[in-house]
Amino acid sequence: MKRVRIVVAYDGTNYCGWQIQPNGITIEEVLNKALCKLTGEEIRIIGASRTDSGVHALGNVAVFDTESSIPAERIAYALNQRLPEDIVVVKSEEVPCDWHPRYQSKVTKTYEYRIYNDQTKNPLRRQYTAFVSFPMDIEKMREAAAYLVGEHDFASFCNVRTNVESTVRTVDRIEIDREGREIVIRVTGNGFLYNMVRIIAGTLIRVGRGFYKPEKVKEILEAKERTEAGVTAPPQGLVLVRIDYGE
């Protein structure tokens, strides 16, 4: 018996998110089935991040236990032969049998939220960006983002369905850049509440459009009330880029 860790990239467009659920096909389910075909075992992976419906990943992480004689490093290749085009296993390797992707003391997650900012929509980017036709002031967005960096109670940036002990999290860094007609919001932190990055994006979009002053973000944080922040930005703009365990 060995424990194998995989790094997974996927286009979330056609999936009901990561986690298995009765109403539609999920990434977790497709990976379980492919592993089952590969090993002949009844495998259930454990994922690091349960991304929402329509959200993408370049580096989600999962583990599973197997008796298979296939070397851990070769599993990525073998698995990709059994996966649809929109799910790719980027890497596979053996980890200690008690290594768990959600319970590690040192974790840094990096997300990117992309906005397509132009007068007309670009159909080639519709599944990977949120569309904003109004001019955006990215200097103001950067000013606003600075209030979010550090350890804060992010209760205002968390949708109600969350049931967590504490809403305190640390955001290490928020970078905002233009790349052609796109604006990229890159957020790094030790953990994120439900919909937190999408609510941050929705709030920063309001700042960029001039609906909120940058200082408003400080008030929103202090209010600790979800209703104070901007709307949850749509899922297709979000990518879980990387999970770093400080190894």
Binding site for its own copies (CB under 8 A): 9-11, 56, 58, 80, 85-88, 90-91, 120-124, 126, 128, 239
Provide the minimum distance between the beta carbon of 121 and its own copies in the complex, in angstroms, as a whole number: 5
Of 21 and 133, which has the nearer Cβ to its own copies? Answer: 133
Side chain identity, residue 119: Q
Of 85 and 165, which has the nearer Cβ to its own copies? Answer: 85
**Strand extents, DSSP E, the chain:** 2-10, 46-47, 56-66, 87-95, 108-117, 130-132, 150-153, 168-179, 182-189, 238-244
Of 90 and 107, which has the nearer Cβ to its own copies? Answer: 90
141, 216 Cβ separation under 8 angstroms: no
Provide the minimum distance between the beta carbon of 141 and its own copies in the complex, in angstroms, as a whole number: 22
- The residues annotated as belonging to the active site are 52
Provide the minimum distance between the beta carbon of 84 and its own copies in the complex, in angstroms, as a whole number: 9
Q: In 3D, which of 145, 235, 134, 220 has the Cα closest to residue 188?
A: 145
CA separation for the pair 184, 115 (Å, rounded) = 6
H/E stretch holding 78 = helix 75-80
Binding residues for substrate: 111
